[in-house]
Structure formats: C-alpha cells, structure tokens
Amino acid sequence: MSTQDLSQNRLGFVSLVGAGPGDPDLLTVKGHRVIQQAEVVVYDRLVSEEILALAAKDAEMIYVGKKLDYHCVPQDQINQLLVEKAKQGKNVVRLKGGDSFIFGRGGEELEELADNGIRFEVVPGITAAAGATAYAGIPLTHRDHAQSVQFITGHVQKDGREIEWRALAQSNNTLVFYMGLKQSGYIRDRLLETGLDENMSCAIIENGTRKEQRVFTGPLKDLAAMAKDAVSPSLIVVGNVTSLHDKLKWF
C-alpha cells in the first residue's frame, strides 16, 4: 500500500486554538507549539500576521475570516472543511482570535468533528474581554465597584434568543458586549429601560491589546455617540469599573 493510501486511511487530528485578542505575545505556549506542528492552518480575520508566521513554511494556510454583515466562508462550509482536511489524514489547526469557546462558534465546529469521528483538542486563548480590559486598565471586578461580570454577544437581534435585559441591569455588575458596535444604540436603550442609570460609566475599547488600541469613555446615555467614533473590532464595557481607566491605564 502506498504512503498516499495510508494517509487516506488514517484520520487526522484537529487542534482548536485561541490566538488571543491581538497582541501576539499573549498566545499560549501550547498554542505556539501546535501552530508550528500543523500541516493545515484554518484561520480567521483577527489573527495577527506575527502568529500566522509561526506556521511551517509548507503548511497550507486557509483564510475563512468573517466581518460584520459579511462572511467570507459560511459556517457550515468551515465545519465541512475541517472534516475534509482531517479525513485526508492532516494535522489541522483551527485558529481563532480570542478564545474559541467564547462567541467563537468553536462548539459548533467540534460537534461536526465529533459527528464524523474526528479526534480533536481545545487550546484555550485569552478572550477579548479579559485581554482588552486589562490593557485598558479596566478591572472586570473590583471590591468597590463590581462583584460580578457577564459576557454578552452584541448580535442581540439576530442570533438566538433575546437577551434577558432585566437580569443585566445591576449597578454592581460589569457587562462586556462583544461585536456590539453596530447595536450600541439598541444596547443603550434596553439597559436604560430596565433600570440602569443614564450616567453609569461605560467604555469602548477599539483594537484591544494592539498598538493601535484606543479607549473611549463616557456615560451610558452617550454610548451610541461614542460608538460613531470607534471602528471594529471593539468591545463595549458597561459598569462602574470603567471609571478607573484614567487612573489605571498603562498601555
């Protein structure tokens, strides 16, 4: 039997790797290693050039990035691509910005692999909420300001069930909205309707952890106006902890 026939009869392996929020130095040691060992790298838009450069020179690099309102490759095709490459006996890295299990659709991709008998592993990454706020000098929790934190998708009207807004409107809570820039007016209105103070401090962190990072701060009532000055990728943070940005900013 030829080497090619053996490869076709051997199922490959998929590593689901979180690349972190932007700064390439925030990639984990394990993520660094498996990227270097990959024969195929399937990657998203927000993965930095420095991290992509870690792949072997002969690795097959496949871009499947998404932008707001525009998907380069539909999710079901990405799922199938991973299955096909693994069935060719390849060592595949599925590389995503941030962490694959926090609004990264990593679970959906692994379900498809599991349904097809493909072995896989998960290499966590630093999610944007943790990385971007740290680089902005905004602690997600603080004894004087916030005893809880919640991560919420900003795709509040498109994907899945409507958010339980009343559960979010707590003065001692930190809210972090991913992909919420376009929906900033809607987010503001729902939070005000359910009881948050219009002067509650909030922030928008643009390009968090990257050298071009910018941070906008202001009251909740001005959130939509602030969003007009920001570009994607950006995080929206609502809560009293954002008032610490001016004192704790370091990056």
Residues labelled as active-site residues: 44, 66
Domains of the chain plus CATH, in order, are 3-123 (3.40.1010.10), 128-248 (3.30.950.10)
Distance (Å, whole) CA 166 – CA 40: 45
Which of 73, 76, 85, 75 is closest to 10 using CA atoms? Answer: 85
Q: What is the DSSP string of 159-174?
A: SSSPP-HHHH--TTEE
* Tens digit of each residue's pLDDT (9 = 90 or more) over 29-84: 999 999 999 999 999 998 999 999 999 999 999 999 866 555 578 999 999 999 99
Chain segment 76-131, per-residue pLDDT in tens: 999 999 999 999 999 999 999 999 999 999 999 999 999 999 999 999 999 999 99
Q: Measure the CA–CA gap between 43 and 47, rounded to whole angstroms.
A: 7
Convert the pLDDT of each residue in 127-173 to its tens digit.
999 999 999 999 999 999 999 999 999 875 555 678 889 889 888 99
DSSP 3-state of 157: coil
pLDDT score at 65: 85
Asked whether the beta carbons of 120 and 16 are under 8 A apart, the reply is: yes
Please report which residue ranges of 73-183 form alpha helices under DSSP H: 75-87, 106-115, 128-135, 165-168
Torsion of CA 51, 52, 55, 59, to 10 degrees: 170
3-state SS assignment for residue 218: strand
* DSSP H or E segment with residue 3: helix 3-9
Q: Could you tell me what percent of the chain has a pLDDT over 70?
A: 92
**Six-digit token string for 17:** 């790797």
Q: Is the peptide bond before 21 cis (omega within 30 degrees of 0)?
A: no
CA atoms within 13 A on the CB side of 87: 12
pTM, full prediction: 0.89
What does the alpha-carbon distance between residue 171 and residue 194 come to, in Å, rounded to a whole number?
12
User: In the 8-state DSSP scheme, what is residue 200?
Assistant: -
